[in-house]
Amino acid sequence: MPCSVQRRLGGGDLRQLTVEITALGKRSSWQLAALAFQELRPQGLQPDIVAFTATASALAGQWPLSFLVLDELRRDGLQADALFCGKLLVACEKAKGWSLALALLRGRPALTSQARGAAVNICKDVAGTWPWALQLLAEFQLWGPEPSLIPYNTAATACQRGGQWTLALQLLQHVGQVSFEPDLVSCGVALRSLAEGACWASAVDLLLRGMGERDEVAFGSAITACERASQATAALRLLAMLRCSRTPSSAVPFNAALSACDKAKFWEEALDMLGSMGRIRMPPDRLSFNAAISACGRSAYWALAGELLRTMRQQPGLRPDSVTCGALTSAYQRAERWDSALLLLRELPRSELGLAGGDVCAFSATLAALASAGEEGRASRWRTVVKVLGEMRFQQLVATRVTCNAALTALAAHGRWEQAIGLFVGMRAQLLEFDVVAVSAAGRSMAHGRQWGLLVELLLSLPRWRVLPNPITYQAALESMAGSLGGSGAERLAPELTEASQRLGLESLAAWRPGSGRW
């Protein structure tokens, strides 16, 4: 032990040395306090719970060392009391040692008021610990003293962040029943909870009742509540009120209102809002552009959506992402502008999208839209399917099960059974699984192309892909096969067809014999 520390302590009994450790802690000399504690045993002194508590308090900013003190206390056979646990919880709160703090709470003694407050604050910042916050708040009422407003606000925040917005609101309602006047923090938590639950009318009412004290964050929460409830008109009115009272300092309230416009197809309002953001020197961010592009796309103004993308790419430090690409692709799909959709997929390289593997989802969405498009233009639409698949290969993107199933369905829907069968064979070589829609599409293509061997193989593979067949469709396909092959050809396939029926659990179909006219 350094001589300077020895001179500080100057020997003495355990009580005197404990007082010295406490003094060192108050002066933030935690290193000296730790050294002093380590020298108690060499001097023949056995630390008691008071000495342990003083040391834990001195080490409040060094929570790992505090828990070493706890380990030593337990080795001595001492029981950590409420004061000692409270010191450790305060240390964990300061240093964000959440996991150790929560471990300490398990099997803890009754905590002091300060320790309970620290523990509630810890629960606010740790996901999934809102039940602890409520239990600790209940202990205030059980053991006393009555908590201040701060623990109530903190526990409500823990519930709101944990997705328990109804509990948060109930807790804040209780505040008014225990002689507390909710403050700005209480109202902020309430507004965020109402936003979580899309309770837009209550959020607007709460905001307007205390409008003079409401800040930009409160307005943003109320606008978000309106957005989640698809109340675009109310969201726009709140944004107008906010702008009348002050100039927003961030794009958050604008983005919430833009998202509401997107849901309501208010494309003109969305464009006006983007322009107004520029006029007040509030540059629209990626979320702003994405919402406006989606609003135009939902309203069938695909050309405007494309123009917004060009404007977005001209903004310094702003680049489109997969959401941008998806919104614009959807706009082109709704208008059946397939060439524009394909051009977009070519123009936005993966480096600009910030995706290591390219935007496979956008390709899948395009193929799915091609599969479900209407009759008009169907004769030539299959060529776009082939082009999309070719573009994926050119960009060296790995086709996923979703992508291939969508392409297979699209080709079958457009009567291109040769290409559909070729894609099916390629998917099988890649060991990709099929969904029920793709299996039906492949089966139709094989029946149309009279590829009966492939069709039987497809049917036998259904259990491996966990696809449940439709018995009526299955029977119709096999009867079509039998009619096309004739008696002798169908007879040769009878064992395979019977096996397929048994594997698929279609026992009533397993006794089929060609020429019988029934199963």
Q: Which two tokens stand for residue 421?
A: 């069968």
Look at residue 321 in the predicted model and tell me its pLDDT: 84
Percent of the chain with pLDDT over 90: 13
Lowest mean pLDDT among 56-60, 231-235, 457-461: 457-461
Mean of the pLDDT values across residues 429-438?
69
Which residues have C-beta within 8 Å of that of residue 268, sequence separation ≥ 6?
none
Higher per-residue confidence, 321 vs 488:
321
Single-letter code of the amino acid located at 337:
R
Look at residue 352 in the predicted model and tell me its pLDDT: 55
35 has pLDDT over 60:
yes
147 has pLDDT over 70:
yes
pLDDT tens digits, one per residue of 450-475: 777 777 777 767 666 666 655 655 55
Smallest CA-to-CA distance from 397 within 407, 382, 412 is with 407
111 has pLDDT over 80:
no
pLDDT tens digits, one per residue of 353-387: 544 445 677 787 777 777 766 666 555 677 887 88
Give counts: helices (H), strands (E), the chain. 29, 0
Look at residue 41 in the predicted model and tell me its pLDDT: 83
407 has pLDDT over 60:
yes
pLDDT tens digits, one per residue of 197-221: 888 888 888 888 764 457 788 898 8
Look at residue 311 in the predicted model and tell me its pLDDT: 93
Alpha helices in 377-470 (DSSP H): 378-394, 401-413, 417-429, 436-448, 452-465
Most confident of 114-118, 223-227, 356-360: 223-227
Look at residue 92 in the predicted model and tell me its pLDDT: 65
Look at residue 172 in the predicted model and tell me its pLDDT: 84
Single-letter code of the amino acid located at 518:
R
**Residue corresponding to tokens 């730790």:** 34
Look at residue 345 in the predicted model and tell me its pLDDT: 79
Look at residue 507 in the predicted model and tell me its pLDDT: 47
- Distance (Å, rounded) from C-alpha 488 to C-alpha 494? 10
- Distance (Å, rounded) from C-alpha 392 to C-alpha 387? 9
- Distance (Å, rounded) from C-alpha 340 to C-alpha 303? 10
Q: Look at residue 296 and give its three-state secondary structure.
A: helix
Look at residue 258 in the predicted model and tell me its pLDDT: 95
pLDDT tens digits, one per residue of 60-107: 667 667 667 777 777 777 666 656 666 666 666 665 555 556 555 554
- Distance (Å, rounded) from C-alpha 396 to C-alpha 293? 28
Lowest mean pLDDT among 58-72, 259-273, 407-421: 58-72
Look at residue 284 in the predicted model and tell me its pLDDT: 93
